[in-house]
Amino acid sequence: MAAPLARRWGAGVAGRCWLVLLPPLLLALLLARSAAALVEGLYCGTRDCYEVLGVSRTAGKAEIARAYRQLARRYHPDRYRPEPGDEGPGRTPQSAEEAFLLVATAYETLKDEETRKDYDYMLDHPEEYYSHYYHYYSRRLAPKVDVRVVILVSVCAISVFQFFSWWNSYDKAISYLATVPKYRIQAMEIAKQQGLLKKAKEKGRNKKSKEEIRDEEENIIKNIIKSKIDIKGGYQKPQICDLLLFQILLAPFHVCSYVVWYCRWIYNFNIKGKEYGEEERLYIIRKSMKMSKSQFDSLEDHQKETFLKRELWIKENYEVYKQEQEEELKKKLANDPRWKRYRRWMKNEGPGRLTFVDD
């Protein structure tokens, strides 16, 4: 009976001893891991970069560069010749290339002031193990070109593309309007009144061919359409202030303007209870229709007048108008033969139906 009790007592004492010794052992392992300032995979690995170049920690840039040039010539793989008692990073011909890379790594580490500061800090504070990894790879993987320059060039490129794309769309819209009889006849009448077409058909020394006269008349008509018609929406005349670059530059101004406008709106209509003006009513209608400013501006004036007459800025009136538009759209689709064919196709052979073609 005494023997089993003694064994259990001895086992309990041993277990308590392990519990007491375990924290110091773990702490010793962690300290042993962090005490080594030179870590494989960082900078020169387990070699000291200063010892690799044979310079002290107080050496200047000129001394470091001079030591690097001497060692680079000595351990270059194409020039390396082993000598008796050769000492240094490459002691055998087989390690000449590794020695040259090690010397280059040491020089790259010490020639840059910021990298050298990080390396010296690692030598002085070996316990900050993970911090050294972060600083090393953050500099190693950082982009060589300034990010601000990249962003500026990208924004400028996008702005140039925007301008030419918008201008191309605007020219296409003008060319199309020049073919519409309604606008073409009006433009030709204005050109005749101003005597522009007569100048295009001058005779004598300045006589032109039929093609030249036709091209010139076409340009005159297009220019008159440009000056008389107001195109809105996606085909409107491009303006520099709408480009991305200028939008970014003017962003603080737009933000401040919006804050001032919003405060005035709250003060005038929510606090003082003023009635909405025409501009405010159209703004509420546009927001209810979920249309952008350019889309709403492209609508005809009589449509906007209809919105105002029906008082669509009032939520209840807009809901009625919306329901009417949906019913009208359903009637149009019900009488549209293409919509009927589409519905028959969706019913008989629409999505979810598997068909096989036998070739």
Same-domain check for residues 49 and 135? yes
Per-residue model confidence (pLDDT) at position 260 = 94
pLDDT more than 90, % of the chain: 13
| More confident of the two residues 264 and 233 | 264
9: confidence class by pLDDT, cuts 50, 70, 90: very low
**What's the pTM?**
0.48
Which of 122, 141, 160 is at the close of a domain?
141
Same-domain check for residues 39 and 135? yes
Which of 103, 125, 141 is at the close of a domain?
141
Residue 34 reports pLDDT greater than 60: no
Written as six digits, the tokens of 26 are 């773990």
Same-domain check for residues 137 and 153? no
Per-residue model confidence (pLDDT) at position 196 = 73
Residue 257 reports pLDDT greater than 60: yes
Which of 126, 141, 156 is at the close of a domain?
141
Separation between Cα atoms, residue 48 and residue 55, nearest integer Å? 10
Q: Does some domain include residue 134? A: yes
Q: What is the CATH number of the domain that holds 67?
A: 1.10.287.110
Per-residue model confidence (pLDDT) at position 24 = 52
Same-domain check for residues 99 and 152? no
Same-domain check for residues 44 and 133? yes
Q: Name the least confident of 108-117, 129-138, 193-202, 257-266.
A: 193-202
For the chain, the residue count is 359
Structural domain harbouring 47: 35-141
Domain count, the chain: 3
Q: Does some domain include residue 355? A: no
Q: Does some domain include residue 184? A: yes
Mean local confidence (pLDDT), 94-108: 83
Mean pLDDT of the chain: 77
Q: Does some domain include residue 263? A: no
Kindly report, residue by residue over 272-282, the tens digit of the pLDDT: 888 888 899 99
Q: Does some domain include residue 357? A: no
